[in-house]
Amino acid sequence: MIPVAKRLFTAKEFGQLPDNGVPTELVRGRIVSMNLPVLRHGQICRINRLVGYYVDEHNLGHLVVNDPGIITERDPDTVRGPDVAFLSYTRIPRGPLPKVYVDVVPELVFEVRSPTDRWSEMLAKALEYLKAGVTVVCLVDERTEEVPVYRADESPRNLHGSDELSLPGILGDFHVEVRRFFE
Spans of all domains in the chain = 37-182
Q: How confident is the model at residue 3, as a pLDDT? A: 54
pLDDT band at 67 (very low <50, low <70, confident <90, very high): confident
CA–CA distance, 46 with 181 (Å, rounded to integer): 7
Question: Which residue type, as a one-letter code, is found at position 148?
Answer: P
Spatial CA neighbour of 8 closest among 70, 73, 76, 69: 76
pLDDT digits (tens, 9 = 90+) for 122-158: 999 999 999 999 999 999 999 999 999 999 999 999 9
Cα 163 versus chain centre, distance = 21
pTM for the full predicted model:
0.92
Evaluate if residue 55 carries a pLDDT over 80. yes
Please state, as a whole number, how many other Cβ atoms lie within 10 Å of the Cβ of residue 78.
22
pLDDT band at 183 (very low <50, low <70, confident <90, very high): very high
C-alpha pair distances (Å), 40 with each of 8, 37, 58, 86, 148:
34, 8, 29, 22, 19
Architecture in CATH for domain 37-182 = Alpha-Beta Complex (3.90)
